[in-house]
Structure 1
Amino acid sequence: MAWYDEPLDEYLTFLRANRGLSPNTLRAYGADVAGCLHLLTLRGVGSLSDVTIDALRLWMAHESRSHARSSMARRTVAVRGFFRFCLDRGLIGADPAAGLMTPKIPSTLPAVLTEAQAARLMTSADRVADAATGETRKAGETDAGCDGHGRDGLGCVADDGAGNDGVGTDGDTDTPVALRDAAIMELLYATGIRVAELTGLDVDDVDFAQRTARVTGKGNKQRVVPFGAPAARALRRWLERGRPALLRDDTPALFLGVRGGRLGQRAARRTVHEEAARAGVPDISPHALRHSAATHMLNGGADLREVQEMLGHSSLATTQRYTHVSIEQLRGRYAQAFPRA
């Protein structure tokens, strides 16, 4: 047993009880602090009182050789929090990490699909589900909620009458998985929820009458997010024709893996990458799909605070960094609103 195991366990217990952090975040914080203290141990540190700011800076220099700035920022926050906790508990007389600076993270944004690309991606997943269930759509037929010109105005792709929709289908796709993946893609884009929030959904969290989903986000905070008609259609098909075929135990999970248990985050991420490749759009992650949804909502005229509420951001500043409005939209609104435009 290492000399730091007991105070580290106390720190993680404190975070779990008072901060409501997710299991994944707690594991990351524990690994970050343990990695720091292990390296200090190798350099001769044997107790909390032996740790100095110089030793911590050496640790940062060592870690920064193999980790990105964003990763180092999280590690620094975890270590600073640990030593502040130790000071508050009287385990040390002074905080050696008080002067530890968090690395600045470049202000970069994830890739964003255009509205046409997003429509192509959603339609591709729906077409695969159609092919798997033997359903066909006539020329001009669109998903529920489309206006004939697009998926809620974003560009539906209709069958040309010969089974071609411009995105291709895979008739050999297993039907339950195809229905599940279509529902995953539709719900992620319709709501902008995180992949962890998606996989944490239960069947009872979905309200078809109101077209809303009750989502549990970071810090176990719950919010209600709306979804549109295409997502509702995909979810109904999954629940009626896909989920029962995969269900093994009496699990409440909305989305299931091929073995019948709750779908994992890794499998959900893989689904997004595979569907992007199939549709022929730029490779994106669920996070980038979330960012795309938020950007398209803002471009469509949604209020920034409405988007903040939907995404589950505690700070409006986070939403402002997370989303951007196209310059064309900005110019148009400027011309309409500013008296001297």
Structure 2
Amino acid sequence: MSIRRNARWEDMEKGNIDLSRLIKHFESFNRSEGKSPSTLEWYTYVLEFFRNWLEECGLSTALEDIGEYEVREFILYLQERQVNGRPLSSHTVANRVRGLKGFFSWLGTQGYTNGNVLEKLKVPKTDQRLVEVLTPKEVDRLFSAINANSALGARNSAMVALFLDAGLRLSELTNLKEEDVHLDDRYVKVMGKGSKERMLPLGARCHRAMLHYYYHFRPEPLHTGINTFFLTLDGYPLTPRAVRSLVARLSRSAEVPRLHPHLFRHTYATHFLINGGDLLLLKQNLGHSSLTMVEHYRHVASQIAAVTSRGFSPLDHMHAPSLRRHKRKDGTSTGQTYPNAGRPRGQDLARRSGARVK
């Protein structure tokens, strides 16, 4: 008769556990912590992609065989990988590395590994490119491309207005409940990441677009279980995929090729600061937990302000005479300028001869 011993977790062998089993445990853990479905889906995608790469390379997927070296090789693969003939962006690579670091940090916390095996691994640097937000002229083109006096146009116009006026994420817009849209008081309640609710005011233009859609064109929900504000013509909830599709069509019709749903959020944040908004208030409105996430928008806003500051040119406000470059007989310029630049030639000759200039 075999005697069972009272095994302790810290004494159990965990190195032979396959990565697929750990990924499922990690997903269950995050779900119990209240992580959003999109966050769960993203983590699972990143981790499964990493596991599939290990298999394709003929490498073991057992926990004890995966460490910093394998992850660094995976990073090199991502940096060289191309999708549709184009390499992955540095931000995509960095985000996937953050996902792996988060997973291995959790493994250390749960006791699967002796500490975080990726603790010394740094996230690759990303390109610090300024986001080219929508200009006022481009925004006008977007609304001009929508027929707000039709059922689809009224809905799409209201969605674009809400994107631009409140800076909603795509998931926040599609999950917006009818009961959370307070048109009489001109604000909406939004459930953001981490189940954090926030209230956002509506400007006059956005308010009019929302009223126009709600009272004239919004269909009745197909059944009582549907309570989202934006609906299809048949009364179904709008999906994120459907919104991406209509934004893509709008991009072509308005001739704004770089348009995508998140660009509306970038545009809102940047112009909020340009118009004098406070950085702390912007953090609250966007639903971020730290100022680090909104500092980038301040940099973009300052760059746009710098470009538009040509109207404050010191020299232009001094009313200085136009500078004239000396020209040779062959018509070429020496590049030199002279004190008499801008004076009529006759006036200058009179000054040289001592004659009185009238």
**TM-score surpassing 0.5?**
yes
User: In structure 2, do the counterparts of structure 1 residues 281 and 69 end up closer, same or farther at CA, with 3 Å as the change threshold?
Assistant: closer
Structure 1 residue 283, shift from structure 2 partner? 4.0
- 2:284, 2:296 → 1: CA distance? 15
The worse-fitting range, judged by mean Cα deviation, of 178-187 and 307-316 is 307-316
- The letter for the 1-side match of 2:261 is P
Aligned to 1:164: none
Question: Which residue identity lines up with residue 38 of structure 1 in the other structure?
Answer: N
Structure 2 residues without counterparts, runs of 5 or longer: 1-16, 82-87, 315-358
In the TM superposition, residue 226 of structure 1 has moved relative to its aligned partner by: 0.7
SS in 1 for 2:70: helix
- From 274, 289, 296, the counterpart of 1:321: 296
Match of 1:115 in 2: 136
Q: Which of 156, 162, 168 matches 1:181?
A: 156
Measured at CA, do residues 281 and 68 of structure 1 come closer, stay the same or move farther in structure 2, by a change above 3 Å?
closer
Pairs within 5 Å for 1:63-102: 63-66=78-81, 67-102=88-123
TM-score (norm 1): 0.76
Q: Please say if 1:129 is aligned against 2:143.
A: no
How far, CA to CA, are the matches of 2:251 and 2:241 in structure 1? 16
SS at match of 2:200: strand
Whether the 8 Å contact between 1:199 and 1:262 is mirrored in structure 2 is yes
What's 1:307 paired with?
Answer: 282
Q: Alignment partner of 1:64: what SS?
A: helix
Deviation at 1:40, TM superposition (A): 2.7
Match of residue 271 from structure 2? 296
- Stretch moving more, 88-97 or 100-109: 88-97
Cα displacement (A) at 1:328 = 5.4
Matched to 2:152, the amino acid is V
**CA–CA separation in structure 1 for the residues paired with 2:116 and 2:261:** 39
Higher relative contact order (CA 8 A, sep 6+): 1
Residues 185 and 79 (structure 1), Cα distance of their counterparts in 2 relative to 1, 3 Å cut: same
- The residue aligned with 1:105 is 126
Paired with 1:275 and 1:179, the residues of 2 have a C-alpha distance of: 14
Q: Which secondary structure state, in structure 2, belongs to the residue aligned with residue 224 of structure 1? A: strand
Q: Deviations over 1:38-69 (max 9, x none)?
A: 33345331421122322222222222222332
Partner of 1:249: 223
Residue 188 of structure 2 aligns with an amino acid whose one-letter code is: A
TM-score (norm 2): 0.72
Residue 17 to residue 331, structure 1, CA distance change in 2 (3 Å): farther
Partner of 1:209: 184
- RMSD between aligned alpha carbons? 2.5
Does the aligned pair in 2 maintain the 1:76–1:100 contact within 8 Å?
no
The 3 A distance-change label for structure 1 pair 311 and 93 is closer
Helix, strand or coil at the partner of 1:179:
helix
Q: What does the per-residue CA deviation read over 1:249-275, in whole Å, with 9 as the maximum and x for residues that have no partner?
A: 221011112442211112212323333
Counterpart Cα distance in 1 of 2:287 and 2:311: 28
Preserved CA contact (<8 Å) 1:192 1:311: yes
In structure 1, what residue type is equivalent to 2:19? Y
Report if the CA contact (8 A) 2:231-2:238 is conserved: yes
Whole-angstrom distance in 1 between the partners of 2:308 and 2:185: 30
Judged with a 3 Å threshold, the aligned counterparts in structure 2 of structure 1 residues 45 and 281 are, in CA distance, closer, same or farther, namely closer
- Name stretches of at least 5 consecutive residues in structure 1 with no aligned partner: 131-174, 336-341
Q: What residue is the counterpart of 1:151 in the other structure?
A: none
Alpha-carbon offset, residue 21 of structure 1: 2.7
Structure 1 contact 257–264 (Cα < 8 Å) conserved: no
Counterpart check, 1:231 vs 2:250: no
- Aligned-residue identity in percent: 29
Change in Cα spacing, 1:227 to 1:81, as seen in structure 2 (3 Å) is same
Q: Is the 8 A contact 2:251 2:259 kept in 1?
A: yes
Change in CA separation of 1:243 and 1:91 when aligned onto 2, cut-off 3 Å: same
Count of residues paired in the alignment: 286
Larger CA deviation: 92-101 vs 102-111: 92-101
Distance 2:74 2:127 in 1: 22
Deviation at 1:198, TM superposition (A): 0.7
Shift of 1:183: 0.9
1:109·1:322 contact (CA, 8 Å) conserved in 2? no
Indicate the structure (1 or 2) with the bigger Cα radius of gyration. 2
Confirm or deny that 1:50 pairs with 2:24. no
Contact 1:215 1:222 in 2 (8 A): yes
Q: Deviation of residue 100 (structure 1)?
A: 2.3
Listed as ranges, the matches of 1:36-47 within 5 Å are: 36-42=50-56, 43-47=58-62
Distance 1:99-1:275 versus aligned 2 partners, 3 A rule? same
Look up the equivalent residue of 1:265 and give its one-letter code.
Answer: P
Q: 2:256, 2:103 → 1: CA distance?
A: 43
Identify which of 74, 77, 81 aligns with 1:62. 77
Cα offsets for 1:133-190 (capped at 9, x unmatched):
xxxxxxxxxxxxxxxxxxxxxxxxxxxxxxxxxxxxxxxxxx3212111111111111
